[in-house]
Amino acid sequence: MSAMTSFEHVKAVISSAHKCTTSEEKVNFYNTWANNYDQDVAVLDYRAPSLATNSILSQYSGRREAAAVFDVACGTGLVAKQMKKHGFARFVGVDGSQAMLDVARESGLYQDLQQFLLGEEPLPAHWECVFDVVVIVGALSVGQVPVGVARDLCKASKSGGLICMTTRSNCGNLEYKAALESELRKMEEEGLWTCVEVTEVDEWERGVSAQEEGYISGAVYLYKRL
């Protein structure tokens, strides 16, 4: 497959995902995409996992190898692979897609992997206040998980723990991004957490819709639980 064909192929795959409306359809889509996911997002020059990792590295001051990391919507494990390169070693992953979890399991990076749809099921009590780092990359966007999931991410973090979240800034996601930022600010006003940094990134990944030439932008949010 040439680079061009391969990019066209990935665009077609992602546009088919946008036709999925129910949770069941979305999970089925990710189940069928799991085996090709890593190579397809590489074609998109998908930088979110490394950008999120860099944000965490810039602020995490504890012993990385001892830190408990909660990788939410972990997919095939791209974020854990990036964090592992920098000394993090203890990962718990959750994802709605069993096939994605099966690929993540093969990486050998996770101590625990659970099928779980955040936003549809309440956060289990045994995950509350236990993680040094909570990270969600790629799932906070229109048609994926609701913005209210931010409260579960905060709940899962220990006091003083870091919560790292990403979203896209392309035209199709601007309304979602505004709603997400409003929720993050509201939680700050409620004294749940404090904003550490927000990083706006121009070259997030290659755009796949007809309106998007070249790269789309995105944002990394880093919060600390109070």
Residue 83 confidence (pLDDT): 98
Q: Give the percent of the chain with pLDDT over 70.
A: 98
2 pLDDT higher than 70: no
Q: Are 73 and 118 spatial neighbours (Cβ–Cβ below 8 Å)? A: yes
Q: What is the DSSP string of 114-176?
A: EE--BTTBPPPGGGTT-EEEEEE-S-SSTTSS-TTHHHHHHHHEEEEEEEEEEEE-SGGGHHH
CATH 2.40.50.100 is the classification of domain 44-225:
no
Q: What is the mean pLDDT of the chain?
A: 95
pLDDT-based confidence at 5, cuts 50/70/90?
low
Identify the weakest region by mean pLDDT among 93-102, 170-179, 211-220.
Answer: 211-220
1 pLDDT higher than 60: no
For the chain, the first-to-last Cα distance in angstroms comes to 50
- Could you state, in order of their start, the residue ranges of all structural domains in the chain? 44-225
Residue 19 confidence (pLDDT): 83
CB atoms within 10 A of CB 27: 19
- The enclosing H or E element of 220 equals strand 215-225
In this structure, what token pair is assigned to residue 5?
């064909």
CB atoms within 10 A of CB 74: 31
